[in-house]
Amino acid sequence: MRLRQIKIAGFKSFADPTVIDIRAPYIVIVGPNGCGKSNIIDAVRWVLGEGRGSELRGKAAAELIFAGSAARKPLGRASVELVLDNSDHAVKGPWGQYEELSIRRVVTGEGVSAYYINHQQVRKRDVQEIFLGTGLGSRSYAIVSQAMIARFTSAKPEELRVYLEEAAGVSLYKERRRETESH
Ligand code: ATP
Ligand code: MG
């Protein structure tokens, strides 16, 4: 599975709809301080389901939606969409059949969030399930922040195991077992 595009509209400093194409195996984002580099990573974390109590900077809807500038009025909603190439069918479950997956999250000024997979409204957990076992979830090792590196170096063995389990792809099965046992 590969991330192909990040589409951002109305999220933080991205007032205008912006499409970031990821065609090369590696990309580097450069720019002056405050130009919005970290906001791109925030957008990716957010569409994967991060919110309250996470590392995302700015958690309330009002902080996530473009707040206006000298030249522009504030906007009323933010949208982030990830386009994933799933031609290797790394995604299991009901969405695994699709070669391409679009994951989108929208929030309005009232703070109401909605999630979509291939333009069909779903629950947050449907989005999270897509990424379980793929190494791309919001709680995976796929995005490594500076704060996380600090945590790794001081983590207890049990905490490190959680990351290892996601890396090895067993977290999906643990989640399934937990569900089965609770029924
Ligand atoms: P650095 O190199 O310092 O890490 P950066 O490129 O990572 O900078 P970001 O942190 O991504 O910069 O962007 C910060 C900018 O985003 C600030 O100018 C801030 O005003 C703007 N910003 C954040 N939230 C909003 C919002 N809700 N509406 C409008 N602008 C926002
Ligand atoms: Mg930054």
Gap from CA of 33 to ligand 1 centroid (Å): 8
Residue 129: burial class (beta carbons within 10 Å; 0-12, 13-18, 19+): buried
User: What is the separation of C-alpha 94 from the centre of its chain, rounded to a whole number of angstroms?
Assistant: 19
Candidate from 6, 8, 13, 72 with most ligand 1 atoms within 8 A of CB, to mutate: 13
Nearest-angstrom CA–CA distance, 183 and 162? 24
| Each residue's pLDDT tens digit, 103-114 | 999 999 988 889
The dihedral built from the CA positions of residue 11, 16, 17 and 23, taken in this order, carries a sign that is: negative
pLDDT of residue 139: 61
pTM: 0.83
The shares of helix, strand and coil residues in the chain, as percent rounded to the nearest 5, are 30, 20, 45
Label residue 85 by pLDDT band (50, 70, 90). Answer: very high
Does 61 contact ligand 1 (Cβ within 6 A)? Answer: no
Gap from CA of 165 to ligand 1 centroid (Å): 33
- Mean pLDDT score, 73-99: 95
Q: Is residue 151 predicted with pLDDT exceeding 70?
A: yes
Can you say which residues are annotated as belonging to the binding site for ATP?
A: 32-39
Interface predicted TM-score (ipTM) of this complex, two decimals: 0.98
